[in-house]
Amino acid sequence: MEPVVVFTTNSDIEARVVMALLDSHGIASFRISGNPQAIWPMAVNPLGEIRIAAPAELAEAARTIIESHREDVGTRVVRLRDEFDDLEQRIGYRFTDRGLLEHALTHRSRAAEDISGGVLDNESLEFLGDAVLGLVVADALFRRYPDYSEGQKSKIKASVVSTQSLARHAEQIRLGEHLLLGRGEEKTGGRFKQALLADAYEALIAAIYMDGGLPAAAEFLDRELSDAIDTGSTQEVVGLDYKSALQERLQGLGKPLPDYRVASESGPDHRKAFTIEVVVGGEVLGSAVGKTKKEAEQEAAKQALARLG
């Protein structure tokens, strides 16, 4: 007998959750294309839907198991619980379209490994999120510090939206735990890479914007970045310059001047990430990633100062 479709979704994550659920109850299931007779391990139909099928004699039991694990909210049945529930609680936003969240967390390495071609990476969302982030931070600075010059506000904005700053916020909400990575990126510690975390954070901003509009994105960023904006304004007032401070510190210690070198470059042309090392007397005292070489040099100098005490 032909297998029977028991569940349909647009989410790769949800499909895996359902298949694992059925497997735990001893029911073998399959991902199939729009034609139930053509079974493929990772297939989607032309509309991007993933269909889960089970043996005909077990179809009713499979549907019962799936229904028993749904959440009932009034008369509306929402998606199965999955690994994104905890993340939504931490960010304080519940997605109407959770597929957007999945899209934001999908790294290009994961999309490249999908043989169906139905998985999209988050790079387009990164681009949009960068624009939304810049607008919201600029608006906040305009309203909070009307007397600051354009140069002062630009410096504060640069510190708030830097790779290091965004990566720290991503770490605080444990975004790395939920990234959808390819096998190679997983093995090389992609969940802990600053540039990758910062990019995913921007994609998350875009996903919130797409799902709930600019007010929802602005509310999220106000909770997330308010302290960073205040800290950035304090640093700007005192004229903090880590590179200059490091040079003065080294001179006071009788050490040679620092040398900044590019250790690596990564990312697409519109979203380059530079890894800069600061070297003193042949020893690497600091290493940092930034959207610009200047940004990464400042962060590397900051690390070197901390190491020198």
Mean pLDDT, to the nearest integer, of 233-261?
78
Q: CB atoms < 10 A from the CB of 26, how many?
A: 8
Using pLDDT thresholds of 50, 70 and 90, give the confidence band for residue 86: confident
The mean predicted confidence, pLDDT, of the chain is 82
> Edge-to-edge strand order for the sheet containing 259-266?
259-266, 273-280, 283-290
Q: Which entry of 12, 121, 126, 130 is annotated as an active-site residue?
A: 130
pLDDT exceeds 80 at position 41: no
The CB-side HSE value for 274 (13 A sphere, CA atoms) comes to 19
pLDDT above 80 for 227:
yes
For the chain, the C-alpha Rg in angstroms (whole number) is 24
Contact 6, 63 (CB under 8 A): yes
Tokens of 268: 């697409």
Mean pLDDT for the stretch of residues 249-257? 86
- The 3-state secondary structure of the chain reads CCCEEEEEECCHHHHHHHHHHHHHCCCCCEEECCCCCCECCCCCCCCCCEEEEECHHHHHHHHHHHHHCCEEECCEEECCCCCCHHHHHHHCCCCCCHHHHHHHCECHHHHHHCCCCCCCCCHHHHHHHHHHHHHHHHHHHHHHCCCCCHHHHHHHHHHHCCHHHHHHHHHHCCHHHHCECCHHHHHCCHHHCHHHHHHHHHHHHHHHHHHHHHHHHHHHHHHHHHHHHHHHHHHHHCCCCHHHHHHHHHHHCCCCCCEEEEEEEECCHHHCEEEEEEEECCEEEEEEEECCHHHHHHHHHHHHHHHHC
Q: What confidence score (pLDDT) does residue 12 get?
A: 67
Q: What mean pLDDT comes out for the span 118-138?
A: 91
The residue among 72 and 223 whose pLDDT is bigger is 223
Rounded to an integer, what distance in angstroms lies between the CA atom of residue 200 and that of residue 197?
5
Compare 39 and 264 and report the one with higher pLDDT: 264
What's phi and psi for 215, nearest 5 deg? -60, -40
Q: How many other C-beta atoms lie within 10 A of the C-beta of residue 90?
A: 13
- 33/41 Cα distance (integer angstroms): 9
Q: How confident is residue 84, by pLDDT bands cut at 50, 70 and 90?
A: confident
State the number of CA atoms in the 13 A half-sphere of 186 facing the CB: 10
Q: Is 202 a catalytic residue?
A: yes
244 has a pLDDT exceeding 50: yes
Q: What is d(CA 71, CA 276) in angstroms, rounded to the nearest whole number?
A: 48
Task: Report the alpha-carbon angle 214-106-111, nearest 5.
Answer: 135
Domain boundaries, the chain: 4-82, 103-237, 242-308
Residue with tokens 């470059």: 265
Kindly name the residue from 12, 126, 185, 202 that is annotated as catalytic.
202
**pLDDT tens digits, 183-215:** 888 888 889 998 999 999 999 999 999 999 999
Q: In the prediction, which pLDDT does 36 show?
A: 40
More confident residue, 76 or 159: 159
Domain 103-237 in CATH 3.40.50.150: no
- Given a cut of 50, whether residue 43 has pLDDT beyond it is no
Q: Which CATH superfamily is domain 4-82 in?
A: Hypothetical protein rpa1041 (3.30.70.1530)
Same fold flag, 103-237 and 242-308: no
Rounded to an integer, the average pLDDT of 254-278 is 87
pLDDT at position 199 is 94
Whose CA is closest to 281, among 263, 255, 299? 255
The percentage of residues in the chain with a pLDDT greater than 70, rounded to a whole number, is 83
Q: Is 123 labeled as catalytic in the residue annotation? A: no
In the predicted structure, residue 55 carries a pLDDT above the cut 60: yes
**What integer pLDDT is reported at residue 115 of this predicted model?**
66
Cβ proximity of 230 and 237 under 8 Å: no
Note the CATH architecture for domain 242-308.
Answer: 2-Layer Sandwich (3.30)
